[in-house]
């Protein structure tokens, strides 16, 4: 009986080893066969395994409530280009989806408050990818605003504070510009074009070409693509599955719960301030990117509002070892408070 039991246990293991050996041989054989495959066979395999599909351009498209004149061949082809570029730049467009989940709930109510169409939230997507980036020309932030324009529309920009990095304040400045451009040029398409190339540059083209409709103008390549890129971002972000993007809600970058700390005096060391709040300089900078230096002179005694996270971000060096050892922290970190201490 014992001998029989041993054989019964050995037999499955032998079978497993035999199967593994078989598949190893198959994989090696496949690898070798591919390496030595003829050009014709290799090309046939490529055509069998690889597919790139054209994207349908919807028959009825609108931007800010206005129909896009897709009956014009040039307009339709320009729209087709931007849909293809953004559909097949998969990693970049997937990141658009992830970041939009966090930032659109902040941007949308500001657009509504200023009477700017909701479609303009996609302008921020194509300008910066919803990141605080800096362009080669010096445009900064989610809305990619140049310093003179930022100051003209009420943002503070100096060596210590740059509100182009402040998502709410920069959105408000962008709205004020777009409203002015709409009033000047008479359409939201032209307002978008002015945002990209400036009101002066657009005015010169309107005068030179004797045309006032965006779709009738010959503009720079970047501005000529601009509205189409916004519409493409809108289509793909509003209809992800139609363009091959699949994700779960937990894959997206969620809204950030924060607490506010007000500062109305000079700060000689923000790292020290962070330590007193039981957080780190890194976290303070993540949530307040408009602070450009570790100090703040604040000669005008303005009140600045700092934001710090309630959950999801941690001062790891200061954490209790028992908490660090808790498996729940690693599996469900959003359930743990970040530990920020509010000053009395």
Q: Which of 61, 155, 142 is nearest to 104 (CA)?
A: 142
Distance CA 174, CA 197 (A): 14
The alpha helices in 117-219, defined as continuous H runs, are 121-128, 147-152, 167-185, 188-197, 199-209
Q: For the chain, what are the domain ranges? A: 2-49, 62-250, 257-335
| Residue 95 confidence (pLDDT) | 97
Note the pLDDT tens digit of each residue in 296-332: 999 999 999 999 988 777 777 776 677 677 787 777 7
- Crossing angle (nearest 10°) for helices 221-238 and 121-128: 120
CB 290 within 8 A of CB 166: yes
- pLDDT of 7 strictly over 50: no
CA–CA dist 163, 142 (Å, integer): 11
User: How many whole angstroms separate alpha carbon 15 and alpha carbon 88?
Assistant: 44
Is the pLDDT confidence value at 5 over 60?
no
Q: What is the pLDDT of residue 263?
A: 93
| Residue 134 φ/ψ, nearest 5 degrees | -125, 125
DSSP character at residue 308: E
- C-alpha span between 249 and 181 (Å, rounded): 37
Which one is the CATH code of 62-250: 1.25.40.10, 1.10.530.10, 1.20.20.10, 3.30.450.20? 1.10.530.10
**Ranges assigned E (strand) in 92-211:** none
Cβ–Cβ under 8 Å, residues 217 and 75: no
Does the CA dihedral 202-206-208-211 come out positive or negative? positive
Cβ–Cβ < 8 Å for 157, 145:
no
Query: How confident is the model at residue 35, as a pLDDT?
Result: 64
Nearby residues of 47 by Cβ (< 8 Å), 6 or more positions away? none
d(CA 102, CA 246): 17
Average pLDDT over residues 203-212: 98
What pLDDT, on a 0 to 100 scale, did the predictor assign at position 262? 93
CA distance 63 to 119: 7
Q: What pLDDT shows up at residue 45?
A: 81
- Is pLDDT larger for residue 326 or for residue 293? 293
pLDDT band at 13 (very low <50, low <70, confident <90, very high): low
Name the pLDDT band for 39 (thresholds 50, 70, 90): confident
What is the tens place of the pLDDT at every residue in 40-61? 888 888 888 888 889 999 999 9
Question: Mutual orientation of helices 73-88 and 90-114 as an angle, nearest 10°?
Answer: 120
Answer for the pair 82, 229: CB distance below 8 angstroms, yes or no.
yes
Q: Give, in order, the Cα–Cα distances in Å from 226 to each of 79, 126, 179, 266, 281.
A: 10, 8, 18, 42, 37
Q: How far apart are CA 24 and CA 99, in angstroms?
A: 42
Helix, strand, or coil (residue 33): helix
Tokens encoding 144: 């990619």
Average model confidence (pLDDT) across the chain: 89
pLDDT in tens, 64-84: 999 999 999 999 999 999 999
CA distances from residue 143 to 165, 304, 320 in whole angstroms, order as listed: 9, 21, 40
Of 149, 236, 234, residue with least CA distance to 194: 149
Q: What angle do CA 338, 341, 344 make, to 5 degrees?
A: 160
Question: In this model, does residue 344 exceed pLDDT 60?
Answer: no
How many alpha carbons lie under 13 Å from residue 299 in its C-beta half-sphere?
A: 2
């Amino acid at each position: 009986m014992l001998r029989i039991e041993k054989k019964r246990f050995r037999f499955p293991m032998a079978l497993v080893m035999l199967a593994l050996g078989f598949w190893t041989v198959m994989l090696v054989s496949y690898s070798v066969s591919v390496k030595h495959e003829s050009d014709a066979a290799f090309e046939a395999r490529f055509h069998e395994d690889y597919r790139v599909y054209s994207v349908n351009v919807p028959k009825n498209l609108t931007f800010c409530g206005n129909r896009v004149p897709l009956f014009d061949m040039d307009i339709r082809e320009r729209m087709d280009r931007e849909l293809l570029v953004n559909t097949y730049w998969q990693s970049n467009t997937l990141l658009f989806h992830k970041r939009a989940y966090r930032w659109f709930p902040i941007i949308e109510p500001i657009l509504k408050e200023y009477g700017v169409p909701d479609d303009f939230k996609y302008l921020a997507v194509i300008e910066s990818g919803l990141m605080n980036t800096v362009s080669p020309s010096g445009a900064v932030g989610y809305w990619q605003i140049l310093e003179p324009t930022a100051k003209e529309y009420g943002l503070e920009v100096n060596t210590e504070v740059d509100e182009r990095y402040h998502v709410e304040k920069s959105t408000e400045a962008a709205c004020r510009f777009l409203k002015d451009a709409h009033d000047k040029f008479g359409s939201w398409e032209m307002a978008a074009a002015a945002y990209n190339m400036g009101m002066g540059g657009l005015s010169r083209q309107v005068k030179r070409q004797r045309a006032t409709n965006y779709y009738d103008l010959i503009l720079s390549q970047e501005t000529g693509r601009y509205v189409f890129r916004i519409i493409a971002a809108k289509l793909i972000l509003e209809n992800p599955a139609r363009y091959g993007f699949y994700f779960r809600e937990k894959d997206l970058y969620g809204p950030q719960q924060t607490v506010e700390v007000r500062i109305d005096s000079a700060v000689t060391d923000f790292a020290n301030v962070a330590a007193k709040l039981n957080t780190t300089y890194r976290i303070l900078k993540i949530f307040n990117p408009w602070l450009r230096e570790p100090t703040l002179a604040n000669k005008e005694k303005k009140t600045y509002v700092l934001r710090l996270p309630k959950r999801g971000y941690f001062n790891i060096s200061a954490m209790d070892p028992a908490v660090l050892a808790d498996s729940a922290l690693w599996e469900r970190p959003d359930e743990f408070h970040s530990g920020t201490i509010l000053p009395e």
